Structure 1
Amino acid sequence: MKKLWTLVTVIGLSFILAAQPAAAAGFPDVPKTNRFHDEINFLVGKNIISGYTTGKFQPKKDVTRGEAAIMVGRMLDLNGTKRATKFKDVGKNYGASGYIASAADRKIINGYPDGTFRPNEKISRGDMAMILERSFGIMAGSYGRFSDVGHHMNASTAIFEMAGAHIVTGYPDGTFRPTANVTREQFSVFLARGLSTEFKQRTLNKDGYAYDLTKTYTYAQPKGELQVAYKKVTIKPAEVTFHGYLWEFKDTGDGSVYHLDQRETKDGLYMVHPLSEAEKELIYPVKLNTKWQPGMDFHERVTITGINKTVKTPYKTFTKAVEATNTNGNKSYFVKGIGRVKTVDKSGKMISELKSIQ
Structure 2
Amino acid sequence: MKKLFAPIAILLSLFLLVPVQAAPPDLPASHTFYEEMNYLIDKGVIEGEADGSVKPDRPVTRAEAAIMIARLKGLSGTQQATRFSDVPKTHFASGFIAEAVKAGYLTGYTDGTYKPDAPIIRGDMAIVLARVFNLGLGFQNGFKDVSPNMMAYDSVNLIIAANITAGYPDNTFRPKARVTRGQFAAFIARGLEPKFKNDAAIPGSYMKDKTKTYTYRMADGASAVHRFVDVPDRGNLAYGFMWTVEYGGETGEYAELENYRFIAFGWPYSEYDIALPYPVVAGKKFDTFNGDESQVNTITAVNKTVATRYKTFTNATEVTTYDGTRYYMVPGQSTVKTVNAAGKVVFELISVK
TM range (shorter): 0.7 to 0.9
Q: How many Å separate the matches in 2 of 1:135 and 1:228?
A: 27
Map 1:298-337 onto structure 2 (within 5 A). 298=292, 299-337=294-332
How far the C-alpha of 1:297 sits from its partner, in A, is 6.5
- Counterpart secondary structure, 2:239: strand
In structure 2, the residue matched to 1:229 is: 227
Deviates more, 1:264-273 or 1:192-201: 264-273
Q: Which residue of 2 aligns with 1:258?
A: 252
Q: 138-147 vs 59-68, which deviates more? A: 138-147
In structure 1, runs of 5+ residues without a counterpart are 1-14
Q: Which residue of 2 aligns with 1:339?
A: 334
Aligned residue in 1 for 2:273: 279
- CA distance in structure 1 between the partners assigned to 2:136 and 2:250 by the alignment: 23
Residue matched to 2:127: 130
Q: Is the 8 A contact 1:140 1:246 kept in 2?
A: no
CA contact (8 A) 1:141 1:246 kept: no
Q: Which residue, out of 211, 228, 242, partners 1:246? A: 242
2:160 to 160, 163, 186: 163
TM-score by length of 1: 0.85
CA contact (8 A) 1:278 1:295 kept: yes
Instruction: Note if 1:114 corresponds to 2:122.
Output: no
Cα separation, 2, equivalents of 1:175 and 1:305: 29
Asked if the contact 2:141/2:259 (under 8 Å) is kept, the reply is no
Name stretches of at least 5 consecutive residues in structure 2 with no aligned partner. Answer: 1-16
**Could you tell me how far apart the structure 2 residues matched to 1:168 and 1:309 are?**
30
| Residues 31-110 of structure 1 mapped to structure 2, 5 A cutoff | 31-110=28-107
Q: Larger C-alpha radius of gyration, 1 or 2?
A: 1
2 CA distance for matches of 1:209 and 1:171? Answer: 17
Instruction: Name the CA distance, whole Å, in 1 between partners of 2:240 and 2:232.
Output: 7
| Distance change (3 Å), C-alpha of 1:318 and 1:180 | closer
Distance 1:324 1:140 in 2: 28
- TM-score (normalised: structure 2): 0.86
Alignment deviations for residues 252-274 of structure 1 (CA, whole Å, 9 cap, x no partner): x2x34332222233333211233
Tell me, yes or no, if the aligned pair for 2:84 and 2:112 is still in contact at 8 Å: yes
Amino acid at match of 1:61: R
Residue identity (%): 40
Question: Deviation string for 1:136-175 (max 9, x for gaps)?
Answer: 1111242444221111111221122112222234344333
- Once the two structures are TM-superposed, the CA of residue 215 in structure 1 deviates from its matched residue by 2.0
Q: Partners of 1:95 and 1:235 in 2: how far apart?
A: 36
Residues 10-21 of structure 1: pairs in structure 2 closer than 5 A: 16-17=18-19, 19-20=20-21
Note the alpha carbon deviations across 1:274-321, whole angstroms, 9 max, x for none. 343322222333333333222226222322333333322221122332
Higher relative contact order (CA 8 A, sep 6+): 2
